[in-house]
Amino acid sequence: MTDAVTDRNLALEAVRVTEAAAVAAMAHLGGGDERAADEAAVKAMMDSLDTLMVDGTVRMGEGEEGEVEDLYTGQKLGTGGAPKADVAVLALEGKSIIARGGYNALSVIALAQDGGFMSVPNIYMEKIAVGPGLPQDVVDLDADPAENLAALAKAKKVKVSDLVVCMLDRPRHAQIVTKVREAGARIRLILDGDVSGVVATALPGAGVDIFLGSGRATQGVLAAAALRGLGGQMQSRLIVRNEDETARLRKAGVTDPHHKYGLTDMAAGNVTFAATGVTTGPMLSGVQFPGRGMATTHSLVVRSKTLTLRYIEGHHHVSKLSRRS
């Protein structure tokens, strides 16, 4: 991923991949079947990835080999040949969202130069992220929420009470919620989708100043890829809950499971990030079916090389999006 024309072409191809997955997933809106929605998105994404002109390897995906059929860590993707690329994918972020007919589901992919993405088991990780235009390391994963909020407010020249903190609505975050409220900041709890929560910190008008909390490592790497192109900052640390996860990390070559990762530890080199809205959220509008076999999609694509953010509206013949029956 070094040639400029190749980079630009891959950016558009990446969007094509997420568009196909998003349309396939949207067909299962409100159906109550998370598995069916996810399988449809994965199948459509694999169709599109089969024609992607890269020699790609999944570094962070839906699971490990043997756990899932497709998009597993280590799987080879694309047509082969140059360029070599690392791939991070989440065919459907928000399976439960689609199943219940909810808000803010996405299809996401990121591409990097060979060796660019962190590759670890998809266990949980702590995360903290802020947007662009701030002093380096203005917040720190090891600091108390009140300290981070005070530092962020000072850097933004606002009051702590003006800040909005985004995190997943999970019981494990109860202590963080309490500390944020005690500090005086506002909170936006999201049901699913910590990729969108992290990315929102760097999008103008999204109304999120900082992301706190824990989520899966795949979502962490994807979010880091987006922030590379948006100028944000992020830190993370893996959460090891049992001996099985310790063994999986050791097998993956992780010698220090308590290491604090920076943005470029998770996503280095030239990085392309693309996301398509499945259902409408603060970042993107969802898939619409206006009739006559058509679908309308809304996507964004980010390139770290140029720090470019583009929004793309696509109009598709649904029958042409997937080659598999």
Three-state SS across 240-261?
Answer: CCCHHHHHHHHHCCCCCCCCEE
Percent helix, strand, coil in the chain, to 5, is: 35, 30, 35
Residues 148 and 108 in one domain: no
Q: Strand 164-168 relative to strand 186-190: parallel, antiparallel, unpaired?
A: parallel
Average pLDDT over residues 159-173: 97
Nearest to 283 by CA among 165, 189, 164, 197: 197
Q: Is the pLDDT of residue 97 over 50?
A: yes
Question: Of 226, 247, 266, which residue sits at a domain end?
Answer: 266
Cis omega (within 30 of 0) for bond into 83: yes
More confident residue, 134 or 281: 134
3-state secondary structure at position 235: strand
pLDDT tens figures, 32-41? 999 999 999 9
Count of domains in the chain?
2
Provide the CATH number for the domain around residue 274.
3.30.540.10
pTM of the model as a whole: 0.93
Nearest to 44 by CA among 25, 71, 23, 21: 21
Distance from C-alpha of 269 to C-alpha of 115, rounded to nearest angstrom: 9
CA distances in angstroms from 29 to 48, 105, 122, 203, 278, listed in the order given: 21, 10, 26, 27, 9
Average pLDDT over residues 274-289: 94
3-state secondary structure at position 38: helix
What is the reported pLDDT for 192? 85
Residues 108 and 11 in one domain: yes
Q: Residue 78 has which token pair?
A: 């694309």
Q: What angle do CA 67, 72, 75 make, to 5 degrees?
A: 135
Distance from C-alpha of 130 to C-alpha of 231, rounded to nearest angstrom: 9
What is the reported pLDDT for 5? 38
Q: Is the pLDDT of residue 1 over 60?
A: no
What pLDDT band is residue 110 in, cutting at 50, 70 and 90?
very high
Residues 227 and 196 in one domain: yes
Question: Of 242, 266, 290, which residue sits at a domain end?
Answer: 266
3-state secondary structure at position 127: strand
What is the reported pLDDT for 322? 58
Residues 128 and 214 in one domain: yes
Q: Using a pLDDT cut of 70, give the percent of the chain over it.
A: 96
| Size of the chain in residues | 325
Residues 262 and 299 in one domain: no
Q: What is the mean pLDDT of the chain?
A: 92
What pLDDT band is residue 92 in, cutting at 50, 70 and 90?
very high
What is the reported pLDDT for 165? 98
Question: Of 224, 250, 266, which residue sits at a domain end?
Answer: 266
Residues 312 and 217 in one domain: no
Residues 240 and 294 in one domain: no
What is the reported pLDDT for 325? 29
3-state secondary structure at position 100: helix
